Amino acid sequence: MTDPPVTPVAFTEQDYAARMDRAARDAAATGLTGLLIAPGPDLLRLCGYRPATPTERLTLLVLAAGSEPRLLVPASERPDAEAAPGAGALRISAWGHGQDPYAAAAGLLRPHGRYGISDSTWAPHLLGLQEALPSATYRPLTTALPMLRAIKDEHEVARLAAAGAAADAVYEEILSVRFTGRRETELAADLAHLLRRHGHSQVDFTVVGSGPNGANPRHRAAERTIAVGDMVVLDFAGLKDGYGADTTRTVHVGAPTDEERQVHEIVRAAQQAAFEAVRPDVPCEEIDRVARGVIEDAGYGEYVVHRTGHGIGVTTREPPYLVEGERQPLAPGMCFSIEPGVYLPGRFGVRIEDVVTCTETGGRRLNTTPHEMAIVT
Ligand code: ZN
Ligand code: ZN
Ligand code: ZN
């Protein structure tokens, strides 16, 4: 059965204007003159524009507080840029045949400006800008403004919720699929197929970690044949209508042992405690500490081998990271995974992951399937 296609609420010109305005103000607050955004996830989110094909021809969005957003494009791509949903919120200019695109870009910049530049900018473009405007300085957005995309507006949260609901439907369906005697790669293909059937246009990964393979948090899927008695970590992520889902449940084939039940329960309790700690102004690292604390208190601290979570939006992995040392406070509109796990080398692993959004009053889960250990056949 295929779900009826549900068209998401379209982002408006006002949505894009608000995102660009916030980005320019955030840049100014960190001491930057402005932001230079090349094609990629930042450009798409800020103004809704994605060139049909990435090329070596310069496309650049220039944002600066107090100035009108400017988008510089090759002349032949101007009609495409003008058709972007956020085009009405910015001024488009084009560079033509025989013209130096970097000279055209320099005309939009301050000669001694300090600019944050998007990570997806191709090296020739940055080198061209440096040559055209040698007194300006450039910093990568990863370090200059890591939280650029961290706070989502309500329409973005709605898309993340829809992507999460589709992933939840995939999980509910995979529970009735046969596990015993099938390879991890076959189950992984089932998950990918189900994600697409439930509306995901891009599948980022489908992890199936059975038995000892589940004890490696970087495992994807291998040729191992799943057998009765296996714990199986199922972790899958993709994009639906441009926004991500990423969820993990750990199931068991047949009846689990007491120890398997106990470890699963510890991870469930850690996930729940971390979720309950979510509220505005709590530092990201505190969510990580809460999850770890539950697992350490239960005596499994040495088997926690990765951070507790990561942000999600137009990509399935982005800031903020829920990890020791990240003092960034949570804020309403931030969306991130909470995915504690316990990994017992050579034996099995357990991970439980939901995407959560921070609201004014606390956390709200965007994955809602049960956390109890499901038994599969
Ligand atoms: Zn078992
Ligand atoms: Zn995941
Ligand atoms: Zn994740």
In order of start, what are the domains of the chain with their CATH numbers?
Answer: 13-144 (3.40.350.10), 154-376 (3.90.230.10)
- pLDDT of amino acid 6: 63
How many degrees, rounded to 5, is the angle at CA 127 between CA 123 and CA 128?
A: 115
Query: How far apart are the CA of 353 and the centre of ligand 2, in A?
Result: 6
- pLDDT of amino acid 9: 82
Q: Which residues surround ligand 1, an ion (CB under 5 A)?
A: 229, 260
**Residue 116 CB-density burial (10 A; 0-12 exposed, 13-18 middle, 19+ buried):** buried
- pLDDT of amino acid 5: 54
Query: How far apart are the CA of 256 and the centre of ligand 3, in A?
Result: 25
pTM: predicted TM-score of the whole model, two decimal places: 0.95
Query: How far apart are the CA of 96 and the centre of ligand 3, in A?
Result: 43
Q: Is 64 in contact with 33 (CB distance < 8 Å)?
A: yes
* Ligand closest to CA 253: 1
Q: Is 371 in contact with 250 (CB distance < 8 Å)?
A: no
Q: Is 46 in contact with 61 (CB distance < 8 Å)?
A: yes
pLDDT digits (tens, 9 = 90+) for 112-154: 999 999 999 999 999 999 999 999 999 999 999 999 999 999 9
- pLDDT of amino acid 255: 97
Query: How far apart are the CA of 199 and the centre of ligand 3, in A?
Result: 19
Query: How far apart are the CA of 353 and the centre of ligand 3, in A?
Result: 7
Token pair, residue 158, equals 């709605």
Per-residue DSSP letter, 314: S
pLDDT digits (tens, 9 = 90+) for 140-198: 999 999 999 999 999 999 999 999 999 999 999 999 999 999 999 999 999 999 999 99
Query: How far apart are the CA of 297 and the centre of ligand 1, in A?
Result: 23
* Ligand closest to CA 235: 2
Query: How far apart are the CA of 110 and the centre of ligand 3, in A?
Result: 40
With a cut of 50, list the residues of the chain below it in pLDDT: 1-2
